Each structure stands twice: as C-alpha cells, then as structure tokens.
Amino acid sequence: MNTTTLNRIDVEYEQPDKAAAGAVCSTKHAWARVPPEPSQAERAALKDKIRRLLKEKNAVMVSHYYVQPDLQDLAEETGGIVSDSLEMARFGRDHAAQTLVVSGVRFMGETAKILSPEKTILMPDLDATCSLDLGCPIDEFSAFCDAHPDRTVVVYANTSAAVKARADWLVTSSCALDIVRALKDQGHKILWAPDRHLGDYIRRETGADMLMWNGACIVHDEFKAFELESLKKEHPNAKVLVHPESPADVIALADAVGSTSAILKAAQTMDAQEFIVATDNGMMHKLRTLNPGKVFYEAPTAGNSATCKSCAHCPWMAMNGLAGVAHVLETGSNAIDVDPQIIPRARLPIDRMLAFTAALKNGLPTSGLVPNIGAA
C-alpha cells in the first residue's frame, strides 16, 4: 500500500481563466500532505532535539500564527517569533542568526530569502503552498500588468518571488490600507493582486481606483454570512473578529476587521468576554493563550468535514510539524532557493513596505516614500 498517497489530500483552489479584471475562475486542483501526529513522548523528544539543534546551528525559528501550537510555543521559548507575515519578514531580516527555520507556507520562506539572501532559509515542508500564490501564476499576471501600464502594481505578500518582482509595492493585511490610501492620495491608480476579497475591502475603505485579479484564499472564502448570523444569535454578547480576506457580507457583520495581529489586539482590548473569529483556526491557540478568561468560537464555514475545502484551517499550514523542523535542522534539507536574478527586483517592493510601516510606527512622515516609485 502506498502510504505517501494515503497521506495526501486533494485541495481545490481558483485561478482566473484569462489575465483580465474580474475574469471567470476555474477550479484547479493541488494537494497537501497530512503529517503523522507524534505521541506525547515523541513530541517531548522532538522539542528537546530542536532546542539543541537551534543552538548548534546558530538558527532561529520564525513561525506563523496559523501553524500548530507546538511550533508557535517553541519559537517563542527559544528566542524566535510567532507573528503575521509582515513581522516574520522583518524579524528574519534583522536577527543575527544565520539560519532561519520558517514554519508557514512557501511564500514566507521565499520572502525571508529575498530579504536575507546570505542566510540559509529552511522550511519543514517545501511543498506547503498557498491558494493565492497558486492562483496567480507569473506569466498570466505579467500579461495582466502589461495590459494596464498606467497602474501602480500592488501585490499581497501571498505571492511568488516572481510576482513580487513584477510589483511596485508589496503589502500584508496589516499595512495594506495605509499603503493604498497613501498611493491614492498621491494620485495612483492601482492594479491589485491576488485576493479579490481583500482588494475589494481596501477599495471600499480607501475609495482607491483598483483593478482586481480574481483570486481567493480557500480558508477565508468559505466563511458564510448566513451561518455567521445564526452563530451570533446563539452568542448575542460575542464580538465578531474578521480577517479581510473574507467575503464582503461576512466583513459586514464584523465588530473588528483586520490582520492576524489586529485580531489579537482587538481580542485583548475590546470590552467583551466572548468572540466569534473568522480566520484560520490556527489563531485560536494564541488568542486563548493571551486571553485565558475569554471564550473564542470558530466562525462557521461552508460545508462540514468532508464537504468543506478547508474547514477553517489551511491544509498547507497543517503540513508544518515538529518532525519536519527537527529533520531540516539536522540535515540542512528543504532549503529555500530563489533565483539570484530575481532577488534584487523582488526586494524593492518588500523594502518599500518595510520602510513605510517602520516610518508609520515611529510617527515619521510616509509621503516621501510614495512618489517616483518607478515602473514595474
């Protein structure tokens, strides 16, 4: 019996049929691996091994909020970070370690390599990808950009190195509104990719002239307003926290909308003891850890068990595990490789984002970071 096949699941995602705004999407198929669940004794042994190897290899763990709890806790315990993709990128660039172990999906490892080409970037599983990345292939995206040369190209972090190299600006969900608003104020028309829900949210909030690539996250696209309204009736005192990759009718029901970091902040600061959360359920670990007296409910998705695409957890995030981290630290395998010819151009939009958000955080003017950005 082929155990490799048994440990794989089919994952559906969307890709526009042609390189045009609002193009009809076809359903494409990818796959995700399901790693075996270690026993309690195996978990303890793997953690000890990882702690030792991190010291031996001058390495640090960089984990996303959506990966399994062990990888989040161990990263923080050993001097690494658990964060959203923006702070993961900044932390990896600025840390003294020569090896970064990135637990997340491939675009996060690629971003780390673009920012730190001299460092070794390891990932527990190089096949852990993202539906937004898969649904925005570089050839089709380049044709889309070529058809609209008068627009400033703004892409979401959930994209390949090649797509980033075609962009003027990179954004994450935590800084997209600020950057697009600044571009709009300078008179820029935007070509946006790849998440249509996030793009539409930004357009509504900023009033920017935005042309959209028609992509979607398989996790957030499954949250449904009707089911969410029903859950709100069951928990009338609960506040609703929504990630902006969700559909507009779900966002309309939110008490707070924002990135993973913004959702964490809202849960800590809002005057409520109960929350309904519409984002990947990997977030629940950090939400509950930081708010031990509060109750968090997962927002409902379309379908259940075998009938839903994600059931509110990214199947590629789920490919990250303790055994994978230990293996790559021990062997040096699964190193991220980005074409050196692409890196300088791909780094430009990332550096612009990091400079903009650093200036914003420090109360410095950002207007000078926008004009004369050059063509893609």
How far are the Cα atoms of 51, 58, 100, 333 from residue 329, in angstroms, in the given order?
10, 10, 10, 8
39 in helix, strand or coil? coil
Q: 218 near 226, Cβ under 8 Å? A: no
- Predicted local confidence at residue 371, as pLDDT: 45
User: Which region holds residue 263: left if phi is over 0, alpha if psi is between -120 and 50, else beta?
Assistant: alpha
Domain boundaries, the chain: 40-130+316-331, 138-216+340-369, 220-307
Residues in the chain: 376
Amino acid letter for position 93: R
User: Which region holds residue 71: left if phi is over 0, alpha if psi is between -120 and 50, else beta?
Assistant: alpha
- Predicted local confidence at residue 89, as pLDDT: 84
Pick from 273, 220, 212: which is nearest to 243 by CA?
220
- Predicted local confidence at residue 268, as pLDDT: 97
371 in helix, strand or coil? coil
Pick from 54, 79, 76, 78: which is nearest to 67 by CA?
76
- Predicted local confidence at residue 86, as pLDDT: 78
Same fold, 138-216+340-369 and 220-307: yes
- Predicted local confidence at residue 369, as pLDDT: 60
- Predicted local confidence at residue 311, as pLDDT: 78
CA angle 235, 237, 242 (to 5 degrees): 80
Measured CA to CA, the distance from residue 75 to residue 62 in angstroms comes to: 6
Looking only at the bridges linking them, the beta strands covering 120-122 and 274-278 are unpaired
How far are the Cα atoms of 20, 135, 158, 197, 316 from residue 24, in angstroms, in the given order?
9, 12, 21, 15, 25
Tens digit of pLDDT per residue, the chain (376 long)?
333 334 777 787 777 876 666 666 677 777 788 888 899 999 999 999 999 999 999 999 999 999 999 999 999 999 999 998 878 988 999 999 999 999 999 999 999 999 999 999 999 999 999 999 999 999 999 999 999 999 999 999 999 999 999 999 999 999 999 999 999 999 999 999 999 999 999 999 999 999 999 999 999 999 999 999 999 999 999 999 999 999 999 999 999 999 999 999 999 999 999 999 999 999 999 999 999 999 999 998 875 544 454 578 999 999 999 999 999 999 999 999 999 999 999 999 999 999 999 998 888 877 666 544 432 2
Q: List residues bridging with 8 in a β-sheet.
A: 33
Task: Give the CATH number of domain 138-216+340-369; options: 3.40.50.300, 1.50.40.10, 3.10.20.600, 3.40.50.10800.
Answer: 3.40.50.10800
Q: 190 near 176, Cβ under 8 Å? A: no
Which are the contacts of 155, defined by CB distance < 8 A and separation ≥ 6?
163, 164, 166, 167, 169, 170, 171, 192, 193, 194, 349
Pick from 200, 202, 205, 197: which is nearest to 223 by CA?
197
Amino acid letter for position 5: T
How far are the Cα atoms of 114, 124, 229, 282, 322 from residue 40, in angstroms, in the given order?
37, 20, 39, 20, 12
- Predicted local confidence at residue 5, as pLDDT: 39
Measured CA to CA, the distance from residue 174 to residue 180 in angstroms comes to: 12
- Does domain 40-130+316-331 fall under CATH 3.40.50.10800? My reply is yes
- Does domain 220-307 fall under CATH 3.40.50.10800? My reply is yes
- Predicted local confidence at residue 16, as pLDDT: 80
Q: List residues bridging with 33 in a β-sheet.
A: 8
Measured CA to CA, the distance from residue 103 to residue 319 in angstroms comes to: 9
How far are the Cα atoms of 124, 132, 189, 255 from residue 203, in angstroms, in the given order?
36, 19, 11, 19
Cis preceding linkage at 38, omega within 30 = no
Angle, helix 106-115 to helix 343-361, in steps of 10 degrees: 90
